[in-house]
Structure 1
Amino acid sequence: MTERDAWSMNGYLGVLVIAVLIGVGIINIIHEHFFLGIFFFVIAIILATGLTLVQPNQSVVVLFFGKYVGSVRKEGLIITIPFSVRRKISLRVRNFHSRRLKVNDINGNPIEIAAVIVFRVVDSAKAVFDVDQYEEFVEIQSETALRAVATKYPYDSFDETELTLRGNAEEISDELKTEVHERLYVAGVDIMEARLTHLAYSTEIAQAMLQRQQASAIVAARKQIVEGAVGMVQDAIEQLEQTGVVKLNEEKRMIMINNLLVSIVADNGTQPIINTGSIQENG
């Protein structure tokens, strides 16, 4: 089912035509032309059944004896097919805010997630005839898409190459928008924006996951510190040997490397011990 234009004419002109027909009918009845007067009255009534008012950003779906004959988007007072059934569909931009859904991320951790979907109807025929209650269809399919996206990614990760729900909000929102659009295209609905509005671990594991996050953060920070320290020590040893400031044998090299690593990696500032030699007394 695809939207197409239904026959319509300017409603004000139609009202004028109806008034003229009624006037002609009255004149004929006054002149005792009863059948002709009734005929004009009937024509006026038939045209009046097609009068309808279309608001801005609104579409009127027209059915004639159960058959879809088209839609009218021209705002204002119009006359369309007489004796037709007309259903009004809003084309305005609307928001749908999902419930807080409890799902498992790709690692199996239970999380709470919610999103807001900004949408509008672009095909009134699809919205009316291809789905039943398109507003409810939008809600159910949006939450289904949100669940599907949430299960593809971890809540959080310290690996910068991996997409996460918390760390890659833009990418997740774009994928959610695509996912929802594919599901709602059949209903003639266009998705303008999709954004996460709530994201958190479920209450039953929130404290445990916070401790796990802290531990993972400490491990990641330590790893980065150690990698940086190794590079700094390597550069320092190479510069000392290249400039000829000191000549180190294998044992002295290992001692210097150990001392440098300890001083760089230690949490607290290290206190150096200065060796000034020994003093011997002659007695």
Structure 2
Amino acid sequence: MSIELIGMNTSIERKGASYSGYPVLFILLALAAVVAWDLITGLPPAGASKADKLMFVGLLLGPILAAVFIGIGFFMIQPNQAAVLTLFGEYRGTERREGLRWVWPWIMRNKISVRAHNIHSERVKINDLRGNPIDIACNVVWRVRDTAQAVFDVDDYKAFVNIQIEAGLRTVGSRHPYDDFEGEETTLRSSGDTVNRELLEELNDRVKVAGIVVDEAGLTHLAYASEIAGAMLRRQQAEAVIAARAKLVMGAVGMVEDALTKLSQDNIVELDDERRATMVSNLMVVLCGEREAQPVVNAGTLYQ
């Protein structure tokens, strides 16, 4: 299920205009030096006139205001970090260049991490394709691809991702049965690669509207819900016993067939139908029995 936002203008990230902060930092240091020089050399004497004092304050206040103006425009970009720039509510681009940057003070900066985020979802109870309640959880690795969409197209992109992970997990979990005892269907338990691929595609389809990309998704917990876990465990045990016995019987039949064929080909003994049936019965009991067979010595013949 994909998410369609009707009537919403999708924002697209573009490069923002900012300047390297290091040249501007030198200007700021120069203004600080000017202020210090004025304080040292331009301080009026105690008997100075009011006009001289006002002139000194004016000369001192100018560099201070300029330094404050310049200092507000500084911001730092860490590796794998971005800053969304806005001017009076208008998107003016995204700055991804690392280091000390500077913009005009009236431009707002909203920093966003574009690093990979790892989320282990909570265990949720869902119904599989056959209606059996199961507990399921997953691990998801995601990151911000388009910062403009992440900031402007959804209210809180982190909360949005968390909700979509749970919704996608429920959707994929309900498409398949937990287990298929006939072995003909894609199941949550035995088809892990297929289910994980479906989950990855489902999540990417859901979060792309927020400029998010999911790099990895996989189930980390899968079990029947507690109310049916005991009954399903007994069913699995019964299926395993039946499968084991069926394989044992098929193997025993093959061994008996080989033994009878070998006896006939080598002319070791000639068996009529009754003796052949007796041998088959005895061999099947020995090969399929759960306990060791106790030999019985026949002192007579089969016809007495």
**Are positions 1:86 and 2:85 aligned together?**
no
Using the alignment, how far apart are the partners of 2:278 and 2:209 within structure 1? 72
Of the three residues 174, 184, 189, the one matched with 1:166 is: 189
User: How much does 1:159 deviate?
Assistant: 4.5
- State TM-score, norm by structure 2: 0.78
User: How much does 1:21 deviate?
Assistant: 6.9
Q: For residues 238 and 80 of structure 1, do their structure 2 counterparts lie closer, same or farther at Cα, with a shift above 3 Å needed?
A: farther
Using the alignment, how far apart are the partners of 2:242 and 2:277 within structure 1? 26
Greater displacement, 231-240 / 105-114? 231-240
Question: Percent identity of the aligned residues?
Answer: 45
2:4 aligns with none
Greater displacement, 59-68 / 76-85? 76-85
**Are positions 1:17 and 2:27 aligned together?**
yes
Of the three residues 188, 206, 216, the one matched with 1:193 is: 216
2:13 aligns with 3
2:99 aligns with 76
Q: Name stretches of at least 5 consecutive residues in structure 2 with no aligned partner.
A: 1-10, 43-54
Equivalent positions of 1:1-283 (< 5 A) are 1-18=11-28, 47-160=70-183, 162-277=185-300
Using the alignment, how far apart are the partners of 1:83 and 1:268 within structure 2? 89
Greater displacement, 137-146 / 219-228? 219-228
Q: For residues 243 and 160 of structure 1, do their structure 2 counterparts lie closer, same or farther at Cα, with a shift above 3 Å needed?
A: farther
The residue type paired with residue 144 of structure 1 is A
Partner-residue secondary structure (3-state), 1:215: helix
The residue type paired with residue 231 of structure 1 is G
The residue type paired with residue 11 of structure 1 is G
User: How much does 1:164 deviate?
Assistant: 2.9
The residue type paired with residue 216 of structure 2 is E
Partner-residue secondary structure (3-state), 2:226: coil
Q: Name stretches of at least 5 consecutive residues in structure 1 with no aligned partner.
A: 279-283
User: How much does 1:24 deviate?
Assistant: 8.5
In the TM superposition, what whole-angstrom CA distance separates every residue of 1:18-44 from its partner, at most 9, and x where no partner exists? 5557888999xx9x8xx9999998876
Using the alignment, how far apart are the partners of 2:267 and 2:155 within structure 1? 84
The residue type paired with residue 266 of structure 1 is G
User: How much does 1:82 deviate?
Assistant: 4.0
Greater displacement, 236-245 / 216-225? 236-245
Q: For residues 204 and 257 of structure 1, do their structure 2 counterparts lie closer, same or farther at Cα, with a shift above 3 Å needed?
A: same
Greater displacement, 244-253 / 14-23? 14-23
The residue type paired with residue 10 of structure 1 is S
Using the alignment, how far apart are the partners of 2:251 and 2:185 within structure 1? 22
Partner-residue secondary structure (3-state), 1:236: helix
Using the alignment, how far apart are the partners of 2:270 and 2:277 within structure 1? 13
Using the alignment, how far apart are the partners of 1:195 and 1:115 within structure 2? 5
Q: CA RMSD in A?
A: 3.1
Q: How many residues align?
A: 275
The residue type paired with residue 198 of structure 1 is H
Using the alignment, how far apart are the partners of 1:45 and 1:141 within structure 2? 44
In the TM superposition, what whole-angstrom CA distance separates every residue of 1:59-111 from its partner, at most 9, and x where no partner exists? 10011222212111122220124411211111122222211100112222111
Using the alignment, how far apart are the partners of 2:60 and 2:181 within structure 1? 86
1:281 aligns with none
Contact 1:176-1:194 at 8 Å conserved across structures = yes
Contact 1:7-1:81 at 8 Å conserved across structures = no
- State TM-score, norm by structure 1: 0.83
